[in-house]
Structure 1
Amino acid sequence: MVSLSKGQSVRLEKTGGGSLTKVSMGLGWDVRKAKGLMGMFGAKGADIDLDASCLVFDSRRQQLDQIWFQQLTSKDGSIVHSGDNLTGAGDGDDETISVDLSKLPADAQSLVFTVNSFRGDSFDRIENAYCRLVDLTNGQELARFDLTGSGSHTGQVMATLTRSGAQWSMKAIGIRTQGRTFHDMMTPIMSSI
């Protein structure tokens, strides 16, 4: 597993070589616990509804598809969203987007993964946030990017997967932005591809 820093890239391949066929981008987060007297009694703020999205682009930067809580499957069925987690409660990935790389359309060049706070909560209220890429054929975590960082932003362009021939690479983006859905974040999304 590779732990990525903002702007860092890693070429994706199976352990022992070969091309990846099925991957999952997992998003996890926790609500920051209240400090002081309220925190001593286990009190915390309301749940946080973060939403993962995946946008598919061709080599001309034209959007081909969008996978998010209002469209859980890509038009061709190659990308599937796990569904909307409204709280961030529990361990592990709170939302996942699974991609069958072998079934993506030939003109799909870039996948852009974003996260946003649908209710408008800022990342000041979030801790332990991350995105991670997993090889679904064996469950191995390939790369992880820490998203935690206080700030008044409500969205973030997390990472991109980019095709070069038959190979894919992941780049940690980490652009902080504002937006309740990816529609509000198109300028930073376009700058990441």
Structure 2
Amino acid sequence: MAKPNVVSKQELLAAAQHCLAEHGIEKTTLKAVAEQAGVSQGTVFYHFRTKEQLMIELVQSLCDDSWQSLQQECGGSVEQALQAAKERCGYDSAYHRLFFLSLAASLSHPPNRHRLGEMIRQENRHLAGMLENRWTSSPIAGISLEHWGIMLNALIDGLAVQALVDEQFPKEAVFDALRRLFDSLANGRNG
């Protein structure tokens, strides 16, 4: 029997995450989420008009949780951000599959495209803030910390794409090289 229509958006997102883990993105439907949450399909539709909207909300929730956890656990260091990115990076990464599928679906839907763009800008700002805590100013004249944040985010997302399509992606070596690059930039400024 279905629960009464007193279910939070967070509970539905948790049900969607469970569906994704069990059935994959392709088989995660609004109906499957409703069944997982024990509510009517109309309840899910009330909160999320489309699967794409549900996926974007889920990506937003995962991003927010990730940044919040990163800030609480370590004060938001670049090293910890790279470690978290490395842990999410992989051939079977549900997080990145969800993110890139949402990205592709959002390109033809302006409100979702705008929302995803804001999420990426927020990540850029978080990363720029982490870099500012580490460097205080840019290690290379003419490159702002804001632009460093954008470039680091693009590097991390690009590595995620490569890992999604290449089972042999050398994740450990590449993330070690990225960490060494940032160490070198920091030390070059100071030494």
Higher relative contact order (CA 8 A, sep 6+): 1
| TM-score normalised by length of structure 1 | 0.23
The TM-score normalised by the length of structure 2 is 0.23
Which structure: greater strand fraction?
A: 1
> For the pair shown, which has the larger CA radius of gyration, 1 or 2?
2
